[in-house]
Amino acid sequence: MRFKVVSPADLRPGEVAAWRAIQEDSPEYANPFLGPDFAQAVAAVRPRVCVAVAMEAGDPVAFFPFERGPLGVGHAVGLGVSDCQAVVQRPGAVSEAEPLLRACGLTVWEFDNLVGDTPPFSPFARRLHAAAVMDVSDGYERYKARVSENSRRFLGDMRRFTRKLARDIGDIRFVFEERDPNQLRTLMRWKSEQYRRTGRRDRFAQPWIIELLTRLHRANAGSPVGLLSVLYAGDHPVATHFGLWSERVFATWFPAYDTRFARYSPGMMLYLRMAEEAAGAGVAYMDLARGAGQYKETLKTRDLTVAEGWAALPSAGAMAHWMRRVPVGLAYDTVLKRPYLRQAARQTLNGLGAVRTRWTESPVN
């Protein structure tokens, strides 16, 4: 076994084909966040992105995309916006983390959405998280039946909201693959407003994320396709979503809606329309990613497991990383394990968001 480390842009066509073939043969690696296209798109806007290719008898058998930082501290490609991470490999190709880290020149590799129980990094998981899934593998009608088992009123409410939205605003129109870049800009504006309103960090304040989505949206072929979907009422876009699409998995990513129409639940309408399209295209499931949210509890049919943590070699860089991460991790665990602290944290973020919204909307004297 030998490793070579290259820029994703320098992968040979045969290596890209081998990467895709592993994904096709192994359902656990089917998520489009794990594909060569996502790594190449991030590399175009984040120049420190690399991929380690494991070679055996001259053939590529594993692919490990990563981003290298100072002191040999690396992390997952697109950490913070990447919802799925792994070493994409043939069974048993890379079973130990240390040789891989040394070949990559890394002392630490940090991850936050590692595919559950996949080698060689699963032994280094510090926390496990549930990632909600909308299973549409048996068709849309079967999916709706499963959702109805959890919430009998939900689908009926959605039909009622849809009729009311059509009466009040205009005919409902759904565009599964919207190519208009203006609608992508609308989504990013709505999402930034939501981040500010709820006290969260605005991801679209970072130019590289804007450029990443723009690049993925422009991609018309390959896997993943950056898929923008829009729900219209009359001429008004009322809900939008940008995600990544592959033959087996539709990875949801950035949903947003016009708050003026919130009482109609347009975001939920949009998810149901996307699920119907995904089921018709033969997709196995929609990955809603980790994180709490009532809409996920309503829409999901099951959970996957993803892991958060880091693998490290003995080094000054690893020690510095440990000193930075462990206190934060302990505080995070403390809040998650105590519902009253979790509620207080949410209220604090919402309060900060309200103050920030008022401040940004106030006229400057």
Are residue 111 and residue 203 in the same domain, yes or no?
A: no
The predicted pLDDT at position 244 comes to 97
Q: Is residue 341 part of a domain?
A: no
CB 143 within 8 A of CB 275: yes
Domain identity same for 114 and 153: no
C-alpha span between 174 and 218 (Å, rounded): 20
pLDDT for the residue 345: 42
pLDDT more than 90, % of the chain: 81
Q: Look up residue 231 and give its two tokens.
A: 């729900």
* The two three-digit tokens of residue 99, written as one number: 């040789």
Are both 274 and 315 inside the same structural domain? no
Distance CA 48, CA 162 (A): 46
Is 244 in the same domain as 111?
A: no
Residue 301 lies in a domain: no
Query: Does one domain contain both 121 and 241?
Result: no
Question: Do residues 125 and 114 lie in contact, with contact meaning Cβ atoms separated by under 8 Å?
Answer: yes
Q: What is the DSSP string of 260-282?
A: GGGGG-HHHHHHHHHHHHHHHTT
Confidence of residue 253 (pLDDT cuts 50, 70, 90): very high
For the chain, what is the domain count?
Answer: 2
Please check whether residue 186 lies inside any domain of the structure: yes
The set of residues, in sequence order, having a beta carbon less than 8 Å from that of 280 and lying 6+ positions away, is: 140
Q: At 152, is the pLDDT very low, low, confident or very high (cuts 50, 70, 90)? A: confident
On whether residue 352 sits in a domain, the answer given is no
Structure confidence at residue 38 as a pLDDT band (50, 70, 90): very high
- For the cut 60, the answer to whether the pLDDT of residue 360 exceeds it is no
In tens, the pLDDT along 17-36 reads 999 999 999 999 999 999 99
pLDDT in tens, 262-297: 999 999 999 999 999 999 999 999 999 999 899 999
CATH code for the domain in which residue 237 is found: 3.40.630.30
Q: Is 235 strand, coil or helix?
A: coil
Mean pLDDT calculated for residue range 73-93: 95
Q: What is the pTM of this model?
A: 0.87
Cα 103 to Cα 128: distance, rounded to the nearest angstrom: 27
Q: Are residues 149 and 116 in the same domain?
A: no
Tell me, yes or no, whether 26 and 107 share the same domain.
Answer: yes
- Higher-confidence residue: 39 or 357? 39
pLDDT (0 to 100) of residue 353: 52
Residue 206 and residue 274 in one domain: yes
Range scoring the smallest mean pLDDT among 168-182, 260-274, 295-309, 325-339: 325-339
For the cut 90, the answer to whether the pLDDT of residue 147 exceeds it is yes
Residues 111 and 154 placed together within one structural domain of the fold: no
Q: What pLDDT does 81 receive?
A: 95
pLDDT tens figures, 187-212? 999 999 999 999 999 999 999 999 99
Same-domain pairing of 194 and 167: yes
Instruction: Establish how many alpha carbons lie within 13 A of residue 335's alpha carbon, considering only the half-sphere containing its beta carbon.
Output: 11
Reply yes or no on whether the pLDDT at 347 is more than 60. Answer: no
Distance CA 161, CA 86 (A): 40
Decide: 233 and 171 in contact? Cβ < 8 Å.
yes
The confidence score (pLDDT) of residue 341 equals 39
Residue of 122, 50, 123, 48 lying closest to 85 (CA atoms):
122
Residue 154 counted as domain residue: yes
Same domain membership, residue 245 and residue 174: yes
Mean pLDDT, range 131-152, rounded to an integer:
96
**For residues 43-54, average pLDDT:** 97
- Residue 69 structural domain: 2-129+306-336
- Is 255 within a domain? yes
Q: Would 53 be classed as within a structural domain?
A: yes
Say yes or no to pLDDT of 221 above 60. Answer: no
Q: Does the pLDDT value for residue 350 go beyond 60?
A: no
Pick the closest to residue 52 from 91, 13, 105 (CA basis).
Answer: 105
Q: Residues 229, 241: contact at Cβ < 8 Å?
A: yes
- CA-to-CA separations, 325 to 79, 108, 126, 256, 320, in angstroms, rounded: 15, 12, 11, 31, 9
Examine residue 56 and state whether it is found in any structural domain, yes or no: yes
The CATH number that applies at residue 77 is 3.40.630
